[in-house]
Structure 1
Amino acid sequence: MTAAAPTGAQYHLRHAGPDGVVEAVVTEVAAGIRELRVAGFDLTEPFPVTSLPPGADGIVLVPWPNRVAGAVWDLDGKRQQLDVSEPKYGNASHGLLRFSPYRVVDQTESSIEQQATVHPQHGWPFTLETRVHHELVDDGVRVTHTITNRSGVRAPFAVGAHPYLRAGDTPAEDLVVTLDAATAFTVDEHKIPDGTVPVEGTPYDLRSGQRAGDADLDTAYRDVAPDEHGVRRTTLHGPEGDGVELWQDESFPYVQVFTSREFPRGDGTGLAVAVEPMTAPANALNSGEGLRWLEPDETWTGTWGIRRVWS
């Protein structure tokens, strides 16, 4: 008997673009991206079908990204106790659908839309219908999130995603990370934001690019400069100039950059770089920063994507 994949069904997408075939594997569990490449050039860190997503590789984070301090928050004066899903720091981490299956509601050769419901549970008295639409385009993937409040009262939420970016075969250490963000969040010993600082003169400054191998980041940013269309961009490029870009529309004003030294590499671990689009920073259920509220049956939509860039 063949063991089922830990990430459930595997949906193989394909799009014939002008610069080569775009391919992706999207998973049933957590609506994650397990593989993404353009003309054989990897844009994300792939992981085996036999594995859970290492370091939350590629998954959707809802109804909050990152962490809730102490797994506790306050709702109209009443303490809400979430399950502790990050015992090391005592927090609730990466939302409530990290290990949940999504169901397919629409699929073509080059796209898939999946739906999952966040049901009421410990510390979460709301019902949210969530949809994730992955669509391959000529240079990568476009991801659209839709959240609808199916509760009888207004409900809070935030959304994020957790891809680890890759630029073909360039070693992660040699990638240059560039992000035009003016402000970084500082964190306490539990990785909960405790303030912000201007990036000028700090190790958090990515505006002119920083070599990933020299960086030590698990850092959220705000005040990210948008282009004329309101799009914010983070790029990783190798010594020859070829690279990858994560873009996010105005619905995602925050981004987290994480240089993990614990990503599986062969028989050991090594560096990988996560770039996480977020609608709110960590602990938004407590701080309120970036937190959105939906009235009953109200819907929100936001979009981000990953694309190949050429020198």
Structure 2
Amino acid sequence: MLESVPTATGRTIPLEAHGARAEIGTVAAVLRSLTVAGVAVTEPVSADAPPPLGCGIVLVPWANRVRDARWTLDGVEQRLDITEPARANAIHGLLRNTEYTVLDRSEEAVTLGALIPPQHGWPFLLDTRVRYELRPDGLTVTHGVVNHGDRRAPWAVGAHPYLRVGDTPIEDLVLTAHAGTWFEADERKNPVGEHPVDGTGNDLRAGVRVGDLDLDTAFGDVVPREGVAARLTAPDGATVDLIQDDRWGHLQVFTPRNFPRPDGVGLAVAIEPMSAPPDALNSGRGLHWLSPGESTERTWGIRYTPAR
């Protein structure tokens, strides 16, 4: 049942079925934890503080950044609120601090919804939802949206899970990502070019040890193999997969060394599904333009496979 006392991550919704367990917070529809057969496959988020470094939150109606918090719609400049003051950008959409409403709930699944009303730099009315559903090997996440406004509206979506494989040290995991391009960024983390990964340190297709990576990098041309966009592999062969279909097309890999845990800060790895690249409101790439009354969905997931 829903906790009666709200916390920094909203009210906690526990899910448990098929040997898997998750906790969802209603603020930012945050994925607070996920375990499969008792094995932690995401970094846990405390209920008592905002998710560190965006851990587990939903990113909508855009993922990543909007340069200078400005974009142009039908020849008219739109000015969003600056939500990344250090870099003067708008970051990770408009629902990062919003309380979602529980629309549907069972032991194994929950659907949360939140309205994105017209506001600074955003003259649209979108109704969004996200559904978390446990599976025996992990979790399926479905994002949906309906345009309730009277004009076409752009939409993109992402999520910010930090993945792990149980207690295996993060630096010893091998990351494989099936991406063909990477986005060069300036000092404010805004894209300035897209390049093939071939022959570069950003080619993760054959697998690279996470301890050897220092990334806050967007990738494009993501073509999943049998649904797997990216994989973490432990030395014993256990894996955690990021599942995407071809409609996503992009992901972000972030390997901060300052991720906070109860025993101190350390290395973590975020592997973030994105339906559009950074600064998509300006480039137009990957945006889904919704006509009035139109709806659409995107689905991704996390899958754990134990060592054989």
| TM-score category of the 2 structures, normalised to the smaller one | over 0.9
Q: Would the aligned equivalents of 2:5 and 2:11 in 1 still touch at CA under 8 Å?
A: no
Q: What SS does structure 1 have at the residue aligned with 2:198?
A: coil
Structure 1: segments with no counterpart, 5+ residues: none
Counterpart of 2:11 in structure 1 is 9
Say if 2:196 is the partner of 1:194: no
Would the aligned equivalents of 2:222 and 2:246 in 1 still touch at CA under 8 Å? Answer: no
Distance 2:255 2:51 in 1: 16
Whether the 8 Å contact between 1:178 and 1:236 is mirrored in structure 2 is yes
2:87 corresponding residue in structure 1: 89
What TM-score comes out, normalization by structure 1 length?
0.95
2:27 maps to 29
Partner of 1:254: 250
Kept in 1: contact 2:41–2:163 (CA 8 A): yes
SS where residue 268 of structure 2 aligns? strand
Mapped to 2, the partners of 1:278 and 1:259 lie a distance apart of 17
Structure 1 Cα separation of the partners of residues 84 and 151 of structure 2:
29
**What displacement does 1:286 show?**
0.2
How many equivalent residue pairs? Answer: 304
Q: Which deviations, in whole Å up to 9, do the C-alpha atoms of 1:192-241 show, x marking residues without a partner?
A: 1111111122111101111111101111111122336xx34210111111
2:53 aligned counterpart, secondary structure: helix
Aligned to 2:165: 167
**TM-score when scaled to structure 2?**
0.96
Q: Which 10-residue stretch deviates more, 260-269 or 294-303? A: 260-269
Match of 2:210 in 1: 212
Looking at structure 1, the residues matched to 306 and 194 of structure 2 have their Cα atoms a distance apart, in angstroms, of 34
Contact 1:15 1:110 in 2 (8 A): yes
1:153 equivalent to 2:151? Answer: yes
| Distance across 2 between alignment mates of 1:85 and 1:167 | 32
Structure 1 residue 251: deviation in Å? 2.4
Choose which of 220, 232, 251 in structure 2 pairs with 1:236: 232
- Indicate the SS of the match to 1:173: helix
1:105 to 100, 103, 109: 103
Q: Work out whether 1:277 is the aligned partner of 2:273.
A: yes
Contact 2:223 2:246 in 1 (8 A): no
Structure 2: 5+ residue stretches without partners: none
| Alpha-carbon shift at residue 250 of structure 1 (Å) | 2.3
Deviation at 1:303, TM superposition (A): 0.2
Q: CA deviation at 1:267?
A: 4.9
Q: Which amino acid aligns with 1:29?
A: V
Give per-residue Cα distances to partners, 1:134-171, cap 9 Å, x unaligned. 00011000000111111100000110000000100011
Q: Percent identity?
A: 53
Task: Give yes or no for contact 1:67–1:282 (8 Å, CA) kept in 2.
Answer: yes
